[in-house]
Amino acid sequence: MTDNVAVVVVESRDPLRLGLYWATLLGCCLPTGAKTSGGEVVQIGGGAVLEFVPASVSKAEKNRQHLDLTSKSEEHQASLVERACALGAERVDIGQGSVPWIVLADPEGNEFCVLEPREEYKECGPVAAVVTDARDPLSVSRFWSSAVNAPLVRTHPGYVSLRHQGGLGLEFVRNPSPPQRQGQLHLRLRASHDPPAGMSGAVSCSICTQSLTALVDPENNHFCLSGP
């Protein structure tokens, strides 16, 4: 269907303010006029952008999807966490326990992780992956592998990762009881061929202002599709 994830859409009470937060945190400016017809955009590498659009509903629980940020060293990880919090983020406990990564929430409560240095993300930009809670990570990752034409690069009983070389990664982490609602993030793909089997939907996306097709994957995660 596509050759990569084009956009990570983030619903926001104040798209410009939240876009500026993420642009500053990731070390890139939000250029004047850097927006689509839908909202403010921030380049995150791998041919993908964050797009901040007006929220259709208020955030009520943990998002199903979140961003994992890369770090180059333990010192870099610590400085990134410090900068994130100075800009308005806060540490949050989502039941992660004792782990080497740091879980934060941005100024509007969207969860994200600052990872410890990892060899597999050495060549990535500031964002390692978009992570999705999944009941069956392997099954849903196979759907997405077909959808974005990207190979599975890591499989584990608790998670599965896929990515194009140099592209934005997708990771699916086992959660027997994922949040009932999608939350404030969803993916937008750019179509290059027919959708894969297992896809359902085909109505206009109510979140994005563009004329886009709304779809869901086998675990009912919303995403939308633009034309070639």
Please check whether residue 40 is in contact with residue 49, taking contact to mean a CB–CB distance below 8 angstroms: no
The answer, yes or no, to whether residue 4 has pLDDT greater than 70, is no
- pLDDT per residue as tens digits for the range 183-226: 999 999 887 655 555 555 556 788 886 678 889 999 999 999 88
| β-sheet bridge partners, residue 185 | 10
Closest CA to 167 of 3, 1, 2: 3
Residue positions counted in the chain: 228
- pLDDT per residue as tens digits for the range 60-72: 899 999 999 999 9
| β-sheet bridge partners, residue 130 | 67, 170
Q: Return d(Cα 170, Cα 57) in angstroms, integer.
A: 25
- pLDDT per residue as tens digits for the range 45-60: 777 899 999 998 889 8
- CATH superfamily for 6-226 is 2,3-Dihydroxybiphenyl 1,2-Dioxygenase, domain 1 (3.10.180.10)
Q: Report percent pLDDT > 90 for the chain.
A: 63
Q: Which two tokens stand for residue 18?
A: 């939240």
Q: Give the per-residue pLDDT at 221.
A: 96
The answer, yes or no, to whether residue 36 has pLDDT greater than 90, is no
Please check whether residue 65 is in contact with residue 175, taking contact to mean a CB–CB distance below 8 angstroms: no
C-alpha triplet 52, 58, 63: angle, nearest 5°:
70
Q: Give the per-residue pLDDT at 30.
A: 65
Mean pLDDT taken over the chain: 88
For the chain, domain boundaries: 6-226
Closest CA to 6 of 191, 196, 150: 191
Q: Return d(Cα 38, Cα 47) in angstroms, integer.
A: 18
Residue 137 phi, psi (nearest 5) = -55, -40
Q: Give the per-residue pLDDT at 191.
A: 74
Backbone region of residue 8 per phi and psi (left: phi > 0; alpha: psi in -120 to 50; beta: other values):
beta
Q: Which two tokens stand for residue 93?
A: 């406990």
Q: Give the per-residue pLDDT at 3.
A: 58
